[in-house]
Amino acid sequence: MEDTRHHLADTLRQMRRQRGWSLDVAAERTGVSKAMLGQIERGESSPTVATLWKIAGGFETSLSSLLVPPAPPCGEPEVRRAEALRRRPADGEMLVAPLFPFDPHLGFELFELTLPPGYLRHSEPHEPGVTEHVLVVAGQMQVCIDDRWIDLAAGEAIRFAADRPHGYRNEAREPAVFHNLIHYPRP
């Protein structure tokens, strides 16, 4: 958690400075308060996943860029273990494993996400053209698209335009584990 907080603080500060944005401008672009952004940059706060998505959207960057260093160029085969990567990157109970951070050449990032029993998360729309691919690995869950909850069980997958409100929930008694491939359109 501390490594994630440190990386997030450094990355947020660097992105803001590269753009020449004050905290006021960053707050306006992201919809996250100036005070919260300052706390994140100083490593004093662990924002929620919803807040991280707002920051990523405002800076027009991937979620994984806020959580882990960029992926190395695709060369030699790379084995990554979800167990070693799984953590709570923010306030809340959802576990996140950035299996493959965003790669600009490929245009996507891949996560393993674990929703604890009773978990509910509404997600604001991502940037235009962003598509999500959800594959349930274990358990069962629901995905909300256009105010309609769709049931998914292990082995089932769904693809949807993520540039509109959507959400995830787990009403079961066991955790739900899924892979989420998020594809970003090329600029």
Between 1.10.260.40, 3.40.50.300, 1.20.1280.290, 1.20.1250.20, what CATH number should domain 2-67 receive?
A: 1.10.260.40
**Fold held by 82-183:** Jelly Rolls (2.60.120)
User: pLDDT tens across 105-127, in order?
Assistant: 889 999 999 999 999 988 888 88
Same fold, 2-67 and 82-183: no
Where do the structural domains in the chain lie, given as residue ranges?
2-67, 82-183
CB-count burial class (<10 Å; 0-12, 13-18, 19+) for 112: buried
DSSP helix/strand/coil, 45:
coil
Q: How many helices (H) and strands (E) does the chain have?
A: 6, 9
User: pLDDT tens across 2-61, in order?
Assistant: 577 788 889 999 999 999 999 999 999 999 999 999 999 988 887 887 788 889 888 988
Q: Nearest to residue 103, comparing CAs of 123, 63, 74?
A: 74
pTM of the entire predicted model = 0.79
